[in-house]
Amino acid sequence: MKTLKIEELSKNFGTTEVLRKINLEIDEGNFLVLLGPSGCGKSTLLNIIAGLETINEGNVFIDDYNVSKVEPKDRNIAMVFQSYALYPSMNVKENMIFGLKQAKTSKEKIAEQLEKVSTFLQVDKLLERKPSQLSGGQRQRVAIGRALVREPRIFLFDEPLSNLDAKLRVEMRREIKKLHQQLKTTVVYVTHDQTEAMSLGTKIAIMNHGVIQQNETPENIYNKPSNTFVADFIGSPSMNLIKGKLIKNSNNISFIADDSSLEVPINNYDFKENSDLNNKEIYFGIRPEHIYFKKLNEDDFDINLRADLSEYIGHEQIVTLDYSNQEILAKFPSTIKIELEKEMKLYFDLAHISLFDLKTKERI
Amino acid sequence: MQDNLQSSSYKELEQKSKYTNMFLRWFLYFVLILFASYFIFPLYVMVVTSLKTMEEIRQGTLLTWPSSLNFDSWLVAWGGRGYGAGDTFLRPYFWNSIKMVVPAVFFSTFIGAMTGYVLTKWRFKGDQWVFLFLLFGCFIPFQAILLPMARTLGTLGISNSVVGLVLVHTVYGIPFTTLFFRNYYISVPTELVKAARIDGAGFFKIFFKILLPISAPIIVVTVIWQFTQIWNDFLFGSTFSFGEAAPIQVALNNMVLSSTSVKEYNVDMASAIIAGIPTLIVYVLAGKYFIRGLTSGAVKG
């Protein structure tokens, strides 16, 4: 039994296609993050799961039950919104129990739930306050509390942290993670922030233009992006994509960048398909943090590159390098002194590279 | 040497700008006082005249202060002289106006709130067109609808009655009240409605429990606007009612224009002030919310 299953789901607003044939499954207790740039359809997908938007094609199942035409209140879900959406005229207590009251829950049960959740979230001292008298973090907590008291099957979060300042955001992120660890409820969480996605999700579904690009664990998303969009979207700065082609002869396979004669051996790369590799035009993907200043592994490939620019950002520096007229970035500790306009010896960690087809942009 | 020269010229400039600022400030006060008196002057003349006897009015000028506080003309304007035929006074018409304005303001405000809520939070296909046509209602000159409206009221059997006037004012208030409420609710985050829907609240519950409690500022604006419009209306009142069903503005007109004997300026002035007092009261009581409601709108959740 899947807690949530989405089948061949499509949605359009007029002639604009927002979601295209989405398929998605979540197991009990998982934390799924929908990640993507603005306008990719992730919030629409969440609203559809909640029942706040209609569906054009496809179905949504909760616990194997088709809820596509079920009202939001009957779907056994709860949602936390970006603007918190606390009812301004009600105090914290009334906000939290509004849903239970609508569902005609008994007074004793309401009191019990309120007591339990408000102490758990440490808002028990704020029950009589109006939302306007709360700080951003407290509002966030009350909004989560309002969702918690209903003991839903699935929690939906719609960019809950993006209205908070940077410091509070990191704190609340940790609290949400803690919350999930303790409650083990299934969560669907929408964000455009990759750090949030990486740190919270047990699975991440990366979306672009209404299509899921990759739906895997954070580790796989980071290490094995399935196409150039994912490679570019995840990581900061994003993965270097060097244009070039593959050379294959008998047992050896290597990469040559455009306008370069240097052969980078990639014999250990785990190709999806082994045929037709010779002369294939590809992107050679390597993350800035996988270019080293010192040789770390036996297989690291040494290469001479010219440094053009160095950006100091505290604990590290981002150096712009020239790889036969293609600009690439590398991340080094800021303690290393870089001489600009000069070639230096660097090391590519070949265990962490990704190769993509130049035409289809897919991982090979 | 150069430094000295510069600092002295700065001093000069400083002095100069000080004089300019002082002059501008005095000029500003002068203009403000001028405008203020321009608006207060007619009121002054009205109040002063209403307190004089006819004798004093004939002998003095417009501006002379009354010799004693004499409220006789106010009593006459309100309650009449006590003789039978031809004695017009404001009291019954004042109550006519109250009976017309209270339900008309209530219904137009309530319906406007409802339509504003639907147009912003329960969008449907073609809702922009509905709103556009409602907006049209704000621009239609009232003279253009007098005849069809008279027919309608006749067919409904409520012409020449307070009920008919309530209907007319409610219908013609809705475009304005809808505009007010729509513009207010558009700044209320739609997420509030979504949250309430997930919590299990329906259309009316969301309206009454979530949106109306935060609508106080715009309700005040709408009530003031509608009250002023309806209370001060003469056109609809004089067209659709006569005799005993007339609202106060029509009665005021009859009173002032149809005097057979000498013009009693003091009674006329007192009547005009009485007819204007209710709007003044509404402004004084709710005025500070008026500005606040017009300028604010955003509700922080």
pLDDT in tens, A67-86: 999 999 999 999 999 988 99
Comparison of pLDDT for B160 and B83, the residue scoring more: B160
User: What integer pLDDT is reported at residue A215 of this predicted model?
Assistant: 95
pLDDT in tens, B231-275: 999 999 988 887 788 899 998 888 888 666 677 888 889 999 999
| Total domains, chain B | 2
A155 to chain B, any CB pair closer than 8 A? The answer is: no
DSSP string, A33-66: EEE--TTSSHHHHHHHHHTSS--SEEEEEETTEE
Percentage of chain B lying above the pLDDT 90 cut = 51
A11 strand-pairing partners? A19
Chain A residues in contact with B300 by the CB 8 A cut-off are: 88, 132
Mutating which of A73, A87, A98 best tests the B interface, going by the most B Cβ atoms within 10 A?
A87
Cβ <8 Å between A89 and B213:
yes
Question: Cis bond leading into A237, ω under 30°?
Answer: yes
Residue B84 included in any domain: no
Shared domain for B67 and B213, answered yes or no, is no
Cβ <8 Å between B300 and A82:
no
Residue A272: both structure tokens together: 């999806």
Chain A residues in contact with B296 by the CB 8 A cut-off are: none
**Do A221 and A206 touch, CB atoms closer than 8 A?**
yes
The domains of chain A are located at 4-233, 240-357
**pLDDT tier for residue B295 given thresholds of 50, 70 and 90:** low
Cβ <8 Å between A81 and B191:
yes
Average pLDDT over residues A176-189: 93
Cβ <8 Å between B300 and A103:
no
CA distances from A237 to A33, A356, B183 (A): 21, 18, 43
Average pLDDT over residues A327-331: 94
User: What integer pLDDT is reported at residue B298 of this predicted model?
Assistant: 40
User: What integer pLDDT is reported at residue B56 of this predicted model?
Assistant: 84
Residue B209 included in any domain: yes
In this complex, the residue of A85, A89, A132 whose CB is nearest that of residue B195 is A85
Percentage of chain A lying above the pLDDT 90 cut = 75
Of the given ranges (A20-24, A147-151, B62-66), which has the lowest mean pLDDT? B62-66
Q: Which residues span the domain enclosing B10?
A: 2-79
Residue B40 included in any domain: yes
Cβ <8 Å between B197 and A52:
yes
DSSP string, B49-95: HHTS-HHHHHHS-TTPPPSS---HHHHHHHH--S-STT---SHHHHH
Instruction: Calculate Rg over the CA atoms of chain B.
Output: 27
Mutating which of B191, B198, B208, B212 best tests the A interface, going by the most A Cβ atoms within 10 A?
B198
Question: Inter-axis angle of helices B127-139 and B162-185, to 10 degrees?
Answer: 130
Evaluate if residue B62 carries a pLDDT over 90: no
Q: Give the CATH number, domain containing residue B250.
A: 1.10.3720.10
- Arch. (CATH architecture) of A240-357: Beta Barrel (2.40)
Q: Name the minimum distance, in Å, from the CA of B198 to any CA of chain A.
A: 5
Shared domain for B173 and B236, answered yes or no, is yes
**Do B282 and B223 touch, CB atoms closer than 8 A?**
yes
CA distances from A170 to A177, B40, B263 (A): 11, 60, 81
**pLDDT tier for residue A87 given thresholds of 50, 70 and 90:** very high
User: What integer pLDDT is reported at residue B297 of this predicted model?
Assistant: 44
User: What integer pLDDT is reported at residue A129 of this predicted model?
Assistant: 92
Looking at chain B, which residue has its C-alpha nearest residue A142?
A: B301
Give B290's DSSP letter.
H
User: What integer pLDDT is reported at residue A274 of this predicted model?
Assistant: 79
The Cα B24–Cα A85 span in angstroms is: 49
In this complex, the residue of A47, A85, A88 whose CB is nearest that of residue B214 is A88
Looking at chain A, which residue has its C-alpha nearest residue B208?
A: A89
CA distances from A308 to A172, A285, A323, A330 (A): 39, 20, 11, 11
Give A362's DSSP letter.
B
Domain finish residue from B16, B47, B79? B79
Burial of A140 (0-12, 13-18, 19+ CB in 10 A): buried
Residue B85 included in any domain: no
Comparison of pLDDT for B123 and B298, the residue scoring more: B123
Q: How many C-alpha atoms does B273 have within 13 Å on its Cβ side?
A: 22
**pLDDT tier for residue B129 given thresholds of 50, 70 and 90:** very high
Cβ <8 Å between A98 and B191:
no
In this complex, the residue of B198, B210, B300 whose CB is nearest that of residue A79 is B198
Cβ <8 Å between A85 and B205:
no
User: What integer pLDDT is reported at residue B20 of this predicted model?
Assistant: 93
pLDDT in tens, B29-45: 999 999 999 999 999 99
Domain finish residue from B46, B79, B112? B79
Residue B86 included in any domain: no
Shared domain for B69 and B218, answered yes or no, is no
User: What integer pLDDT is reported at residue A252 of this predicted model?
Assistant: 86
pLDDT in tens, A184-198: 999 999 999 999 999
User: What integer pLDDT is reported at residue B86 of this predicted model?
Assistant: 61
Mutating which of A98, A140, A141 best tests the B interface, going by the most B Cβ atoms within 10 A?
A98
In this complex, the residue of B200, B213, B214 whose CB is nearest that of residue A73 is B200
User: What integer pLDDT is reported at residue B300 of this predicted model?
Assistant: 43
Residues of chain B with a CB closer than 8 angstroms to some CB in chain A: 189, 191-192, 194-201, 205, 209-210, 213-214, 299-301
DSSP E strands: which ranges in B181-292? none
In this complex, the residue of B191, B205, B214 whose CB is nearest that of residue A85 is B191
Chain A residues in contact with B215 by the CB 8 A cut-off are: none
**pLDDT tier for residue B63 given thresholds of 50, 70 and 90:** confident
Shared domain for B203 and B126, answered yes or no, is yes
Tell me the pLDDT of chain A averaged across its residues: 92
Shared domain for B58 and B120, answered yes or no, is no
The Cα B127–Cα B119 span in angstroms is: 6
**Do B56 and B264 touch, CB atoms closer than 8 A?**
no
Average pLDDT over residues B142-161: 90
Burial of B193 (0-12, 13-18, 19+ CB in 10 A): buried
H-helix or E-strand spanning residue B14: helix B2-50
User: What integer pLDDT is reported at residue A26 of this predicted model?
Assistant: 94
What pTM did the predictor assign? 0.82
Q: Is A11 helix (H, G, I), strand (E, B) or coil?
A: strand
Looking at chain A, which residue has its C-alpha nearest residue B209?
A: A89
Task: Please count the other Cβ atoms lying within 10 Å of the Cβ belonging to residue B225.
Answer: 19
Shared domain for B235 and B257, answered yes or no, is yes
**Do A218 and A197 touch, CB atoms closer than 8 A?**
yes
Q: Name the minimum distance, in Å, from the CA of B188 to any CA of chain A.
A: 10
Residue B301 included in any domain: no
**pLDDT tier for residue B3 given thresholds of 50, 70 and 90:** low
Evaluate if residue B5 carries a pLDDT over 80: no
Report the candidate in B202, B249, B163 with the shortest Cα–Cα distance to residue A72.
Answer: B202
Shared domain for B18 and B56, answered yes or no, is yes
Shared domain for B243 and B184, answered yes or no, is yes
Comparison of pLDDT for B301 and A186, the residue scoring more: A186
Chain A residues in contact with B195 by the CB 8 A cut-off are: 79, 81, 85, 87, 146
Shared domain for B73 and B100, answered yes or no, is no
Looking at chain A, which residue has its C-alpha nearest residue B214?
A: A89
Query: Are β-strands A291-292 and A343-348 bridged in parallel, bridged antiparallel, or unpaired?
Result: antiparallel
Residue B63: both structure tokens together: 């501006």
B288: which residues sit within 8 A by CB, 6+ positions away?
none
A73 to chain B, any CB pair closer than 8 A? The answer is: yes
Evaluate if residue B85 carries a pLDDT over 60: no
ipTM of predicted assembly, 2 dp: 0.84
Shared domain for B14 and B105, answered yes or no, is no
User: What integer pLDDT is reported at residue A276 of this predicted model?
Assistant: 82
Domain finish residue from B10, B44, B79? B79
pLDDT in tens, A9-63: 999 988 889 999 999 999 999 999 999 999 899 999 999 999 999 999 999 999 9
Evaluate if residue B4 carries a pLDDT over 70: no
Average pLDDT over residues A236-249: 92
Q: Name the minimum distance, in Å, from the CA of B175 to any CA of chain A.
A: 27
User: What integer pLDDT is reported at residue A118 of this predicted model?
Assistant: 92
pLDDT in tens, B89-110: 888 899 999 999 999 999 999 9
Average pLDDT over residues A149-167: 91
In this complex, the residue of B194, B200, B299 whose CB is nearest that of residue A99 is B200
User: What integer pLDDT is reported at residue B261 of this predicted model?
Assistant: 67
Average pLDDT over residues A342-362: 93
Burial of A328 (0-12, 13-18, 19+ CB in 10 A): buried
Residue B300 included in any domain: no
Shared domain for B73 and B109, answered yes or no, is no
| Highest mean pLDDT of the ranges A149-153, B112-116, B154-158 | B112-116
pLDDT in tens, B187-222: 899 999 999 999 999 999 999 999 999 898 899 989
Q: How far is CA B271 from the centre of its chain?
A: 19
Shared domain for B171 and B203, answered yes or no, is yes
**Do A91 and A130 touch, CB atoms closer than 8 A?**
yes
Residue A97: both structure tokens together: 């129990």
Tell me the pLDDT of chain B averaged across its residues: 87
User: What integer pLDDT is reported at residue B52 of this predicted model?
Assistant: 87
User: What integer pLDDT is reported at residue A261 of this predicted model?
Assistant: 87
Which homologous superfamily does the CATH classification assign to the domain defined by A4-233?
Answer: P-loop containing nucleotide triphosphate hydrolases (3.40.50.300)
Q: Name the minimum distance, in Å, from the CA of B213 to any CA of chain A.
A: 6
User: What integer pLDDT is reported at residue B272 of this predicted model?
Assistant: 92
